[in-house]
Amino acid sequence: MNDRRQIIIEAGLGVLREHGYPGFTQPRVATAAGLRQSHLTYYFPTRVDLLAAVARAAIDGQLDAIDKMFDGASQEVVAASIASVAVRHATTRVMMALAQAADQEASLRDLFRELADGISERVGRLLEDLGIEPTQQARFMLHALSAGLAVIDLAVGRPDGERRAQAVIETALDLLAKGGKRT
Amino acid sequence: MNDRRQIIIEAGLGVLREHGYPGFTQPRVATAAGLRQSHLTYYFPTRVDLLAAVARAAIDGQLDAIDKMFDGASQEVVAASIASVAVRHATTRVMMALAQAADQEASLRDLFRELADGISERVGRLLEDLGIEPTQQARFMLHALSAGLAVIDLAVGRPDGERRAQAVIETALDLLAKGGKRT
DNA sequence: GTCTATAGATAGATAGAC
DNA sequence: GTCTATCTATCTATAGAC
């Protein structure tokens, strides 16, 4: 059943969201999917196979989520949207898991590149909407800034994390809007 | 022997640098330190104990490294220094490990906060040296930007990663220098 | 106090039952 | 094709030897 594969992938995503990469084990995913670990390996023979499938789903989902995020794009709204993603720890755990997986498994690196390129592209469109020139520089900067905010917030877990993140992104967009015409 | 504890901690750091958080196991650290796993648990009874000690060392080492990094602080030199750290994957693995550990082990969260605060403080001094007002905003921005660059470079591993990172940081410093006088 | 043998738990993969 | 019992490897922790 293709359906069951989908259930497993969803379960895997859930595990990644909650426990991150270190907690991503076959038994845990199998339990979450309602089947036995030895059954799971029928659909995904190895851990890396499973991880690749879950990564694929995570990437598609993340890019879709970004697409749906920006409609009425004022600088403030955009900053708030990015900040709200940055402090969603479940998402951060998944993204960090993909980064680590890409670091350790050469076969997954291309998947992560796809994610990074997809984000960069979307950030470019976003900057255009805001009237900021979408140079590679600017796109990369906003991407890295968001990623860093997410990781730091995950680890320090300050109560006002979202507010602070939003303020920083607003400032960055502000600086880009004002100064982006020269460099 | 206190000496032996130190050897173990060094070995743990090495493991973290090479294999990251997922590869941080007692047997591996013990082997790297040249003793048996069951011996290692004499000095560090639990995995978290060991992790806390290694985290402590990693944080001190990282902050020291930052301190030694900036002497003749021109914008370009600073950007190059930060970029060279951002693409040192061993360092990134350690930092990500600390972030994940902080996320999962409440007892380690304070340690990570110490790291984040220490970095923020040093970034502030750095900005001052460059003649940029070291607002909390600006410090946080540069910190997050650097962290994000490091994580992304770890995962995508582009050959020109360092050059790109340096360019982005230079741009950011440039924008802060020009625009930092208003917001 | 220092160190090790060993137990107990969990992970990943395979051969084979249905 | 679908599913499971089972084996092997690995990890963490403890009881106890020296």
Distance CA A114, CA A59 (A): 8
DSSP for A53-95, written as a single string: HHHHHHHHHHHHHHHTT-SS--HHHHHHHHHHHHT-HHHHHHH
**Cβ atoms < 10 Å from Cβ of B67:** 11
**Is residue A143 within 8 angstroms of chain B, CB to CB?**
yes
3-state secondary structure of A34: coil
Residue A70 pLDDT:
73
**Is residue B183 over pLDDT 70?**
no
Instruction: Using the structure block, give the residue that is written with the tokens 């047997």.
Output: B27
Residues in chain B: 183
**Is residue B143 within 8 angstroms of chain A, CB to CB?**
yes
Q: Could you read off the pLDDT of A84-94 as tens digits, one per residue? A: 999 999 999 99
Nearest-neighbour CA in chain A from B113: distance (Å):
6
Query: What percentage of residues in chain B have a pLDDT greater than 70?
Result: 97
Residue of A87, A119, A168 for testing the chain B interface, max B β-carbons within 10 Å:
A168
Local structure of residue A148 (DSSP, 8 states): H
**Is residue A35 over pLDDT 50?**
yes
Q: Could you read off the pLDDT of A84-121 as tens digits, one per residue? A: 999 999 999 999 999 999 999 999 999 999 999 999 99
Tell me whether residues B109 and A157 touch, CB distance under 8 A: yes
What's the average model confidence in pLDDT over B161-170?
A: 98
**Is residue A137 within 8 angstroms of chain B, CB to CB?**
yes
Residue A181 pLDDT:
52
**Is residue B181 over pLDDT 60?**
no
Phi, psi of A5 (to 5 degrees): -55, -40
Which candidate, B86, B94, B79, B78, places its Cα nearest to that of B161?
Answer: B86
Residue A182 pLDDT:
42
What count of Cα atoms within 13 Å lies in the side-chain half-sphere of residue A165?
A: 31
**Is residue A72 over pLDDT 80?**
no
Mean pLDDT of chain B: 94
What's the average model confidence in pLDDT over A62-74?
A: 85
**Cβ atoms < 10 Å from Cβ of B80:** 17
Local structure of residue A22 (DSSP, 8 states): G
pTM of the model: 0.95
Q: Could you read off the pLDDT of B44-91 as tens digits, one per residue? A: 999 999 999 999 999 999 999 999 887 767 899 999 999 999 999 999
DSSP for B114-149, written as a single string: HHHHHHHHHHHHHHHHTT----HHHHHHHHHHHHHH
Amino acid at B130: L
Tell me whether residues A116 and B152 touch, CB distance under 8 A: yes
Identify all chain B residues contacting A146, using CB atoms and an 8 Å cutoff.
Answer: 148
**Is residue A167 within 8 angstroms of chain B, CB to CB?**
yes
Identify all chain B residues contacting A137, using CB atoms and an 8 Å cutoff.
Answer: 167-168, 171
Tell me whether residues B171 and A137 touch, CB distance under 8 A: yes
Tell me whether residues A152 and B156 touch, CB distance under 8 A: no
8 Å CB contact between B152 and A143: yes
Residues 16-75, chain B, touching A (beta carbon < 8 A) = 19-22
Residue B173 pLDDT:
97
Which candidate, B151, B139, B149, places its Cα nearest to that of B169?
Answer: B149
Q: Which nucleotide has the least CA–C1' distance to B25?
A: D11
Tell me whether residues A145 and B143 touch, CB distance under 8 A: no
Helices B161-179 and A161-179 sit at what angle, rounded to 10 degrees? 90
Find the CB nearest B137 among A21, A141, A171: A171
Q: Could you read off the pLDDT of B109-134 as tens digits, one per residue? A: 999 999 999 999 999 999 999 999 99
Distance CA A7, CA A1 (A): 10
Amino acid at A47: R
pLDDT band at B2; cut points 50, 70, 90: confident
**Is residue B180 over pLDDT 60?**
no
**Is residue B164 within 8 angstroms of chain A, CB to CB?**
yes
| Token digits of residue A145 | 């800034």
8 Å CB contact between A50 and A29: yes
DSSP for A85-123, written as a single string: HHT-HHHHHHHHHHHHHHHH-HHHHHHHHHHHHHHHHHH
Local structure of residue A1 (DSSP, 8 states): -
Q: Which nucleotides of C are covered by protein (CB under 7 A)?
A: 2-6, 10-16
3-state secondary structure of A10: helix
pLDDT band at B179; cut points 50, 70, 90: confident
Q: Could you read off the pLDDT of B140-149 as tens digits, one per residue? A: 999 999 999 9
**Is residue B6 over pLDDT 70?**
yes
Contacts of B8 (CB under 8 A, 6+ apart): B29, B30, B33, B35, B40, B43, B44, B50, B53
**Is residue A133 within 8 angstroms of chain B, CB to CB?**
no
* Domains, in order of start, for chain A: 2-179 (1.10.357.10)
